[in-house]
Amino acid sequence: MTNNNEKKEYWRWLEYKKIRPNMDPKKANIITAGVDVGSVGSKAVIMLDGKIYAWSVMRTGSNSSDSAKKALGWAMEDTGLTLDDFHYIVGTGYGRVNVPMANRAITEIACHAKGANYIWGPTVRTVLDVGGQDVKAIKVDQNGKVVSFLMNDKCAAGTGRGMEVIADLLKIPIEDVGKVSLSVTEEPKPVSSTCVVFAKTEAVGLLRKGWTKEKVIAAYVKAMAIRMSELIEKVGCEKDFVITGGQSKNIGIVDRVEKILGVKRLPVPNLEETGLDPASAGAIGAALFAKALYEKSQKQ
Amino acid sequence: MVVSAGVDMGTQRVKVAIIKDKQVVGKAQEFVGFEPTKAAEKALEEALKSANISREELEHITATGAGVDMATFADSKVSMMGADAKAGVYFFKSARTVIDVGAEDARAVKCDEYGIMQDFIVNARCAAGAGTFIEAMARALEVELEDMGPLSLKAERASPINASCVIFAESDVVSLIHREEPKSEIARAIFDAMAERVASMVKRLGVNPDIVLVGGVAKDEGFVASLKRRLGIELLIPEEPIYAGAIGAALVAAKKAKRARRRAQ
């Protein structure tokens, strides 16, 4: 039974963690971790000899270093690992300088490029990373190295935070936004793609005009997809194209960006089994950098 | 003797000014709400009442503003920039630049000594450069809108806050309040960021004194202080800056009425 008086938080997405079975940290030579403290989500990935072993995705709190500790702590739960067992830890993301247990901080752009290369392989050339408070279009080479990138971190249009705001307004659970936005029979005219505040005002006006919330969310998601596509077109969209970050799960965004650009993204791998989670691409990249940095330090 | 009216259909309020022989004799404002045309009619009625003038005495009505087409009863239209230029020079003869900061947009207009627009620049794409920002932050800080300005003036520094976007600032404010950051410093950060946006827009147009500041936000002393600091120049502000658009439109209406009379003779 739900209590009607309680204000539901439609933006609140589900946190998750997982350990892959049949892997034994005791037999591993190199244990590394990547901790990606984003503005909205904190992600931790633990790797055994460069293979994903355990991971967690949770909401970032008001304090970056607490969020980093919590995310890694949650990923470590039931693994028997302690912080001392790690050979190297890399912090990344918007709060990367505040990851207390990290040996080093690396920008999330480099980590997302590296992570995408690991998830989808060397054919990836363009990565759209849609984070909580920024959107990045990154061009990468066959080794997962950044060639060039463009970023919008000044404005909520297109970001996950903007999507949360509209989900809350329309009372649509954030996980369902994509699906609901695709349930319209005809694509409506998009709302303002330059400002979430103006888009929100427009959305309220459309609801008053009698539009269904499905139609309104479609108009909003369309506007945000336009915004993201413009960014990708500016760096140039070269195949293979992939989407990382929390909103890679929003099929309303993915579908529309693909249509606007005329390019299909590579499909999402089976994350339950492999841990290849596009939302954790930054943390995966960070854990890989951690392994490489550890190996380098041993050679010296 | 010419009696004319100007109707400024803003995104938030409709403002009406009545002009008789170049003097503002009546004015009124209403929230736009769901029925902008009705709100405009009502504001016009009130303005006429305050001027003690009947509707029949009005020779010409000119409308302006974002919702100009909703003022269906108007005889003519003028651009927002044109109305700003007219009003700026009407308030202060020396005005050569008019900055208008409204609820959802900001503009800067360059004009000549006759109040004719020469050039302009507009931001209507981002809420962080307009009055909406102050409203959203007042809500987030749980402070009355009118208190935001005085509160910000108490601060000696500005909080480190992501003030490039209203949405980001809203989430930042919550954690800053948790950290017991003074509200005054948060308020100042908002005004500084807004002023920065407006100032950079004015600089692109050219800082051409004297500068007149109008629009609803010109009433906010916090914003005015920040903008003065950013531009490094004095700002002239009329007594009721929110009516600038309506007064500018009424001046245009008076001119049109005179021209019509001449044609009739």
pLDDT tens-digit series, residues A42-77: 999 999 999 999 999 999 887 888 999 999 999 999
Same-fold call for A16-117+271-299 versus A125-261: yes
What would the CATH number be for the domain defined by A16-117+271-299?
3.30.420.40
> Is B31 near chain A, with CB under 8 Å?
no
> Is B126 near chain A, with CB under 8 Å?
yes
Q: Which of B127, B168, B178 sits opposite A198 (nearest CB)?
A: B127
Q: Helix, strand, or coil here: B23? A: strand
What are the two backbone dihedrals, phi and then psi, of residue B170, each rounded to the nearest 5 degrees? -60, -45
Least Cα distance to B263 among B60, B5, B18 occurs for B60
Per CB distance under 8 Å, which residues of A are interface residues toward B? Answer: 62, 133, 154-156, 161-162, 165, 192, 194-198, 201, 208
Span(s) in chain B for CATH 3.30.420.40: 1-92+242-265, 93-237
Taking only residues 174 to 203 of chain B, the set having a beta carbon closer than 8 angstroms to any beta carbon of chain A reads: 174-175, 178-179
How far is Cα A248 from Cα A16, in angstroms, rounded to an integer? 16
Read off the tokens for A153: 């971190």
Nearest CA in chain B to A162: B167
Mutate which of B125, B137, B165 to disrupt the A interface (most A C-beta within 10 Å)? B165
Sign of the alpha-carbon dihedral angle for A224, A226, A232, A234 = negative
Nearest CA in chain B to A158: B167
Enumerate residues 6+ apart whose C-beta is below 8 A from B144.
B138
Give the model confidence (pLDDT) of B114-152 as tens digits.
Answer: 999 999 999 888 999 899 999 999 998 999 999 999 999
What homologous superfamily is domain B1-92+242-265 in, according to CATH? ATPase, nucleotide binding domain (3.30.420.40)
Task: Tell me which of A138 and A94 has the higher pLDDT.
Answer: A138
Q: Helix, strand, or coil here: B29? A: strand
Enumerate residues 6+ apart whose C-beta is below 8 A from A15.
A56, A57, A58, A59
Read off the tokens for B247: 């007064």
Alpha helices in chain A (DSSP H): 64-76, 108-120, 160-170, 177-181, 196-208, 213-235, 251-261, 271-274, 281-299
Q: Computed over its alpha carbons, how large is the radius of gyration of chain B? A: 19
Q: Which 8-state DSSP code applies to residue B113?
A: T
What would the CATH number be for the domain defined by B93-237?
3.30.420.40
> Is B70 near chain A, with CB under 8 Å?
no
**What pLDDT was estimated at residue A4?**
46
How far is Cα A22 from Cα A46, in angstroms, rounded to an integer? 15
Indicate if the pLDDT at residue A6 is higher than 60: no
How, if at all, do strands B97-101 and B211-214 pair?
Answer: parallel
The residue behind tokens 């009407």 is: B90
Q: What CATH class is the domain A125-261?
A: alpha beta
| Yes or no, beta carbons of A196 and B168 under 8 Å apart | no
| Yes or no, beta carbons of B127 and A195 under 8 Å apart | yes
Contacts of residue B179 in chain A, CB cutoff 8 Å?
A: 62
**What pLDDT was estimated at residue A7?**
60
**What pLDDT was estimated at residue A3?**
44
Interface predicted TM-score (ipTM): 0.81
Read off the tokens for A197: 């505040």
**Residues linked to residue A265 through DSSP beta bridges, in sequence order:** A241
Calculate mean pLDDT across residues B204-229: 95
Listed by start position, the domains of chain A span 16-117+271-299, 125-261
The Cα-based distances of A169 to A11, A15, A165, A287 in angstroms read 9, 22, 6, 37
The whole-angstrom distance between A209's CA and the closest CA on chain B is 10
How far is Cα B228 from Cα B9, in angstroms, rounded to an integer? 28
As a residue count, chain A comes to: 300
**Residues linked to residue A56 through DSSP beta bridges, in sequence order:** A17, A44
Calculate mean pLDDT across residues A253-269: 94
Count of helices and strands (H, E) across chain A: 9, 10
Q: What stretch of H or E contains B90? A: helix B80-91
